[in-house]
Amino acid sequence: MFLYNLTLQKATGIVTAINGNFSGGSKQEIVVGRGKVLDLVCPDDSGKLQTLVSVEIFGAIRSLAQFRFTGSKKDYIVVGSDSGRIVILEYNKLTNSFDKIHQETFGKSGCRRIVPGQYLAVDPKGRAVMVGACEKQKLVYVMNRDTAARLTISSPLEAHKSHTITYSICGVDCGFDNPIFAAIEMDYSDSDQDSTGLSAAEAQKHLTFYELDLGLNHVSRKWSEPIDNGANMLITVPGGGDGPSGVLVCAENFVIYKNQGHPDVRALIPRREDLPAERGVIMVSVARHKSLSFILVQSEYGDIFKVTLEHGNEGVTELKIKYFDTIPVTCSMCVLKPGYLFAASEFGDHALYQFQSTGDEPDAESSSTTMMELETEEGFQPVFFKPRRLKNLIRVDQVQSLMPIMDMKVYNIFEEETPQIFSLCGQGPRSSLRILRPGLGISEMATSPLPGVPNGVWTIKKNVNDEFDAYIVVSFASATLVLSIGETVEEVSDSGFLDTAASLAVSLIGDDSLMQVHPSGIRHIREDGRINEWRTPGKKTITKVGYNRLQAVIALSGGELIYFEVDMTGQLMEVEKHEMPGDVACLDIAPVPEGRRRSRFLAVGSYDNTIRILSLDPDDCFQVLSLQSVFSPPESLLFLEIQASTGGEDGADHPASLFLNAGLQNGVLFRTVVDMVTGQLSDSRSRFLGLRAPKLFPVNVRGRHAMLCLSSRSWLGYMYQGNFFLTPLTCGILEFAATFSSDNCAEGIVAVAAEALKVFTIDKLGETFHQTVFPLRYTPRKFVLQPKRKLLVMIESDQRAFKAEELEAAQNECFHALQDDNGNLHMEEVSENSELSDEQYGYPKAEVKNWVSCIRVLDPRTGETMSCLELEDNEAALSICIVNFNDKDYGTLLAVGTAKSLQFLPKRSFDAAYIHIYRFVDGGKLELLHKTQVDGVPLALSHFQGRLLAGIGNVLRLYDLGKKRLLRKCENKLFPSTIISLHCYRDRIYVGDIQESFHYCKYRRDENQLYIFADDFYPRWLTASQHVDFDTMAGADKFGNVFFVRLPQDVSDEIEEDPTGGKIKWEQCKLNGAPNKVEEIVQFHVGDVVSSLQKASLTPGGVECILYGTVMGSLGAFLPFSSRDDVDFFSHLEMHMRQEHPPLCGRDHMAYRSAYFPVKDVIDGDLCEQFPTLPMDLQKKIAEDLERSPAEILKKLEEIRNKII
Amino acid sequence: MDIKASDRFNINSQLEHLQAKYVGTGHADLNRFEWAVNIQRDSYASYVGHYPMLAYFAIAENESIGRERYNFMQKMLLPCGLPPEREDD
């Protein structure tokens, strides 16, 4: 079996983000590292974040830094990754890509303890970069410019120190003196030797300054001083002329200012009122901008503090920490120039905030003071505060993120053409159920009902230079309605259009006149209001029309074509006639090329299943240039010019090409390339779009030509980052559509849906899935489908959290306290605070043993929670399944495995564990039938032959339903550690162990015995599993690998044929292993922890593939290849891509995909899909080696993608 | 390379060189504790380096990723508790 790996949704979570002027303009951009993807993001004029470029780098991005030379206007990007190399990138605005400037190898690849890449620090003046490892190694590279102003990089200078752990590094701003880097370090050599524990207790973190002597080209330890042992982060303090220089050390509960020869200035971090006393506060992210005179730091609870330093001639005199605002915990924050704050959330959606104020007002809100004031008090008395609503920030945009995907299943609950992906996402209060549908989301701006069923809609400008449309014209069976677009959209009758007949086409023709084609003629309305009418000869009627800005062709009943052209004076003149062999099914004229008077190509579709390209040149008018036969009569034709672009947004430097698109009656969209000179058709591709013949409409998307295809689903064909995408839109069935542009909607679409007119816009291009989000209360763990009523039953649980009632009680108490103290004075504040959304502020932290959990029944159609059962006494729901016992009294039951006061550290322990059995009553409610105590944590439950199979710790047990409790029927205690997944098929049970991969078991009913007959060679730490077929399982491990294991055919047959079921052999197993071993047939490193696997087909009638969802919020698929030829083709393409296009950040592709186990039988589609981003000559070279043309390769890539989604 | 010519190239000195250069390279007299400490430090460094894994732990423990990273780095000091008493002293 060969598989094709394709990422459907790139990671949505963020590891780290930096901001700067990467394109060199005045605009600020953000570079976002998403694990294995590097993105450039930029807020547009309306404050919406747009992704300009997104590159898969086939490595792990661990740190990012930006630097610029003095006097330069452009920032470079330094990437710290797992490649054992330092990589310096530059954003190239022209080609819209990242260019690799330098790549220097310094160590082994992989995320290792002593190989640098974990930390990056730059000199604020851009003269040097330090790259550090967790332990020992730190390297300094000196950056310089050569005579041509190109960036040069020195060989590395070592700043190593053995037996030393590094916690953080940063550059120290010391103007143009020698660059200095600061590091938090701890020497562990003594504590490793001393068994008394004395030296371990005395082990001290040090702040060390490393000075790079630019003259001597040498790095030396300049200064080292002990600091607080809770130190975890360093922040550069502006120096030179802008500030006091030095660093801020963020430690647990403290922020300390330190500099060489300067006394420490220390301040306590204010604490939340509800924070338990034993918990500390550490800072996790920082935002600083030159234009801001202060530094923003965020704590692990989400509170942002403003840190200000007061300094004079004697250095820093005061350090202030003031509560600023609270936003969800971030991994990185970036302050952008026009007053934006980009917050890259650790989990859940990211956001863009705008500063309302800088928190300068001297209100009584918790502001912590300097050491001097602290000393007057007894001990360290922190300042307390209560999180409040956003005061200084306001949210302007949100970027959806699936991170982390906890569970994912594919069902077609809504009975749509394609199934929906149900995914449980997020953590704690930011949890959600997200329903993903392949396609782009639309945002509807207006809907208005129409008096009848329309048969066409158009929008027109009055003049070719107008920015906005003037009219919307809607045609009905025997009338035409004209709506003028202004402040409001209203009907007008003075437009000059004939309103007593249906319209076949309405358009701007020439520079400033309008054309209306109706069945009995053409009305040409000049700018000054003169109307010229052309009437059809005899009793013939116009059936079809094709037009562009200067030309029009009509087809009369019987098959006669008449060609009109706008002449120099603006008159619409009849030019030529032509008789076609039969009725014309559809017509289209290619758009007029820039600077020409006419387009040469007319496409005519006929009912004899052909499409002809005719010439419109005066010398060979109506000459057939080429002919294409198709499977079914064409219904609609559209020429689409895909523009050559050497820059701007979609980057790739393709030559302009003209595509002819045809919607066929059998629902297929047929696309072929039209030769711009000869009109020859070549390179055809087809795709099934829906059950109705697709109608094609030209639209504009981001200023580029795009195509809307309306079948039983609506599709948008558009260019995005160099690739052509044909993506469904998540809107209902549309009949007709046209572009729409007015002053409050620059790039919209007006469409007819049944008897209504809809105006909508398409927001996020490049998105594969459209999300519908329903918020949940706690971290969701698993869910199942209740088959009868199609409800989702999910379990949510959180450690270290308070129950909703407890929180409410605490809040009420607080409310009363305030009332008692202050009477009515603070009522406003109280009501304000009680409405704080947990989503924004997080739940308060409780003790480790505290658990909250609930079982929720949710109707996915409405998002309504039918019932939500909160568990009591720190009981946490951990596993769930639907079970039908042989005893038919109760019907479908729900089994939930729970544990009380579960703790993972130092060892897994719990007070009690249970299996609950619930009954569904009144449809959505749950009623507890009984609760059975078990002796281990039940992490896996499954229905099996009318009984309940449970993985309880390392015991596999079969239960039957009793009146008061579950009854043990059979068990097997031979599993190595903990059972976390169960899959059943016939009498086989596929057991997933938390650290020992799969075990294949058999249940013998006659002997009532469970036994293991096969297991895996490798210890694999399973995180997800999926049953593929009778002998095959797919699994994913904690380290980011996906693998398939299969029981060899002969072994499988032997076991099935053996009357004892392999039992005798089983009894002879050796070394505690099973007698048979499964074989690894597929192996692949995804590079992200896969949290769920699912076998499904996302296209109607498509092949089933294995979908995977990951912790970083990405979705991908493994598609099995159906032919050997395809395997050969793609493996060769992959090989060439590996050679010609090594990954951006220096990791070897093959090594990355084989990071833990050698990659086996998987072709990486993500690499193959980078083919269109290669320069044209390289594309040609690879294509030649593959004995194909670049276009054929693109077609292949498109085809295989279409098979998956 | 002539191995006999110089002691510098014998297997022991090569090993010593490796041990100095690559932290965690084992030797014949490595005891159980030292071995475990190395494994643990390597593991923590790997958890900190692989962000998805850090996130995975953070979800399990309901802590922020920043706190989880801090905890792992703190644990690198004495990953396996105090060293056993030396027999030879």
Interface confidence (ipTM) of the complex: 0.91
H runs (alpha helix) in A900-1036: none
* pLDDT value for A384: 84
* pLDDT value for A56: 95
Q: Are A12 and A1111 in contact (CB under 8 A)?
A: no
Subunit contact B49:A285, Cβ cutoff 8 A = no
Subunit contact B63:A13, Cβ cutoff 8 A = no
Q: Which residues of B touch A135 (CB under 8 A)?
A: 23, 41, 45, 76
Subunit contact B53:A1089, Cβ cutoff 8 A = yes
Strand partners, A909: A903
Question: Does residue A649 carry a pLDDT above 80?
Answer: no
Q: Does B49 touch chain A (CB under 8 A)?
A: yes
Q: How confident is the model at residue B37 (pLDDT cuts 50, 70, 90)?
A: very high
Distance, in Å, from the CA atom of A969 to the CA atom of A240, rounded to the nearest integer, reads 77
Tokens for A983, please give them. Answer: 């899959």
Rounded to 10 degrees, the C-alpha dihedral A153/A159/A162/A166 comes to -90
State chain A's mean pLDDT as an integer: 89
**A113, A404, A1023 ranked by CB distance to B42: nearest:** A113
* pLDDT value for B6: 57
Question: Does residue A722 carry a pLDDT above 80?
Answer: no
**B45, B77, B85 ranked by CB distance to A134: nearest:** B45
Which of A290-294, A432-436, A886-890 is predicted with the least confidence, judged by mean pLDDT?
Answer: A290-294
Chain B closest-CA separation from residue A914 CA (Å): 20
Q: Are A368 and A383 in contact (CB under 8 A)?
A: yes
Distance, in Å, from the CA atom of A1079 to the CA atom of A1033, rounded to the nearest integer, reads 10
Mean pLDDT confidence for A585-591: 92
Q: Which residues of B touch A1112 (CB under 8 A)?
A: 51-52, 55
A residues 514-543 near B, CB within 8 Å?
none
Mean pLDDT confidence for A16-42: 93
Beta-carbon contacts of A444 under 8 Å, excluding residues fewer than 6 positions away, are A731, A758, A759, A760
Subunit contact A347:B84, Cβ cutoff 8 A = no
Mean pLDDT confidence for A194-209: 92
Most confidently modeled of A150-164, A258-272, A348-362?
A150-164
Q: How confident is the model at residue A848 (pLDDT cuts 50, 70, 90)?
A: confident
Q: How confident is the model at residue B13 (pLDDT cuts 50, 70, 90)?
A: confident
Question: Does residue A327 carry a pLDDT above 80?
Answer: yes
Subunit contact B65:A284, Cβ cutoff 8 A = yes
Distance, in Å, from the CA atom of A529 to the CA atom of A460, rounded to the nearest integer, reads 16
Distance, in Å, from the CA atom of A764 to the CA atom of A649, rounded to the nearest integer, reads 14
Distance, in Å, from the CA atom of A718 to the CA atom of A764, rounded to the nearest integer, reads 12
Query: 3-class DSSP state for residue A932?
Result: strand
Q: Which residues of B touch A1091 (CB under 8 A)?
A: 56
Do strands A955-961 and A925-934 pair parallel, antiparallel, or not at all (unpaired)? unpaired
Mean pLDDT confidence for A974-988: 94
Mean pLDDT confidence for A208-222: 95
Q: How confident is the model at residue A730 (pLDDT cuts 50, 70, 90)?
A: confident
Beta-sheet strand order (sheet of A61-67): A61-67, A76-81, A85-92, A97-105
Q: Which residue of A has its CA nearest to B66?
A: A284
**B52, B62, B85 ranked by CB distance to A1088: nearest:** B52
* pLDDT value for A48: 85
Question: Does residue A645 carry a pLDDT above 50?
Answer: no
Tokens for A330, please give them. Answer: 């971030």
pLDDT digits (tens, 9 = 90+) for A164-175: 999 999 999 988
Distance, in Å, from the CA atom of A212 to the CA atom of A1104, rounded to the nearest integer, reads 58
pLDDT digits (tens, 9 = 90+) for A503-542: 999 999 888 899 999 999 999 998 888 899 999 988 889 9
pTM: 0.91
Question: Does residue A815 carry a pLDDT above 80?
Answer: no
Distance, in Å, from the CA atom of B68 to the CA atom of B47, rounded to the nearest integer, reads 10
Subunit contact A192:B37, Cβ cutoff 8 A = yes
Subunit contact B55:A1112, Cβ cutoff 8 A = yes
* pLDDT value for A814: 58
Q: Does B42 touch chain A (CB under 8 A)?
A: yes
* pLDDT value for A820: 46
Percent of chain A with pLDDT over 90: 62
B residues 59-88 near A, CB within 8 Å?
59-67, 70, 73, 76-78, 82-86
Rounded to 10 degrees, the C-alpha dihedral A1104/A1105/A1109/A1113 comes to -100
* pLDDT value for A582: 87
pLDDT digits (tens, 9 = 90+) for A110-120: 999 999 999 99
CB pairs under 8 A between A and B: 142
Distance, in Å, from the CA atom of A1026 to the CA atom of A1017, rounded to the nearest integer, reads 19
* pLDDT value for A938: 96
Mean pLDDT confidence for A59-73: 93
**CA angle, residues A81, B36, A186, in degrees to nearest 5:** 60
**B24, B77, B84 ranked by CB distance to A186: nearest:** B77
* pLDDT value for A833: 47
Which of A459-468, A960-969, A1067-1076 is predicted with the least confidence, judged by mean pLDDT?
Answer: A1067-1076
Q: Does A114 touch chain B (CB under 8 A)?
A: yes
| CA–CA distances in Å: residue A437 to residues A411, A412, A1056 | 11, 10, 41
Strand partners, A882: A894
Question: Does residue A715 carry a pLDDT above 90?
Answer: yes
Distance, in Å, from the CA atom of A758 to the CA atom of A752, rounded to the nearest integer, reads 6
- Give me the amino acid identity at A862: T
Q: Does A284 touch chain B (CB under 8 A)?
A: yes
- Give me the amino acid identity at A694: P
Mean pLDDT confidence for A719-732: 82
Mean pLDDT confidence for A700-722: 87
End-to-end CA distance of chain B: 41
Q: Are A845 and A801 in contact (CB under 8 A)?
A: yes
Question: Does residue A656 carry a pLDDT above 80?
Answer: no
* pLDDT value for A626: 93
Residue A301: name the closest of A838, A832, A796 by CA. Answer: A838
